[in-house]
């Protein structure tokens, strides 16, 4: 199911880009527009950890920012990119990176070990 959904999104993306080129042939090509940046807001308050295994879709090259707001010390780890941030209790913390690896990557916490989000990076 995930594979067919992804094919549909890719087909739609190509069609959408072609439509934009037809509509504005003298403007910059649509494929040079910078990918839309994405923010993933992680909160851990009174034992409730969010997001909860959410799927987050981004286009390769997009800047992804992860913010952490927690009432206890929390380590957040993005697999594949090997981004790790240690947030202190009560201290808003964030990190950003460019999503230059295509694929599916787990964003999780350690202690407790929980899946926050599945980051899906597509070519276009
Ligand atoms: Cu981990």
Q: What is the pLDDT of residues 15-74, one digit of tens each?
A: 444 444 444 444 555 566 789 999 999 999 999 999 999 999 999 999 999 999 999 999
**Ligand 1 centroid from CA 110, angstroms:** 6
**Ligand 1 centroid from CA 77, angstroms:** 5
> Taking the model in full, what pTM does it have?
0.72
- What rounded mean pLDDT belongs to the chain? 83
Residue carrying structure tokens 């990119």: 81
pLDDT at position 105 over 90: yes
CA distance 50 to 115: 9
Residue among 59, 6, 64, 9 at smallest CA distance from 34: 59
Residue among 98, 99, 116 at smallest CA distance from 107: 116
**Ligand 1 centroid from CA 109, angstroms:** 6
Extents of the domains making up the chain: 1-33, 34-122
Quickly state the pLDDT bin for 80 (edges 50, 70, 90).
Answer: very high
Q: What is the CATH number of domain 34-122?
A: 2.60.40.420
pLDDT score, position 27: 52
**Ligand 1 centroid from CA 116, angstroms:** 11
pLDDT score, position 97: 96
**Ligand 1 centroid from CA 80, angstroms:** 10
């Amino acid at each position: 199911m995930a594979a067919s959904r992804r094919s549909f999104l890719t087909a739609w993306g190509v069609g959408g880009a072609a439509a934009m080129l037809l509509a504005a042939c003298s403007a910059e090509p649509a494929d040079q527009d910078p990918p839309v940046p994405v923010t993933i807001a992680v909160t851990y308050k009174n034992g409730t950890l969010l997001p909860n295994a959410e799927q987050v879709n981004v286009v390769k090259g997009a800047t992804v920012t992860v913010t952490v707001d927690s009432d206890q010390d929390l380590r957040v780890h993005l697999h594949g990119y090997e981004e790790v941030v240690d947030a202190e209790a009560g201290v808003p913390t964030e990190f950003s990176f460019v999503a230059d690896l295509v694929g599916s990557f787990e964003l999780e916490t350690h202690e407790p070990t929980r899946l926050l989000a599945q980051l899906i990076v597509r070519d276009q």
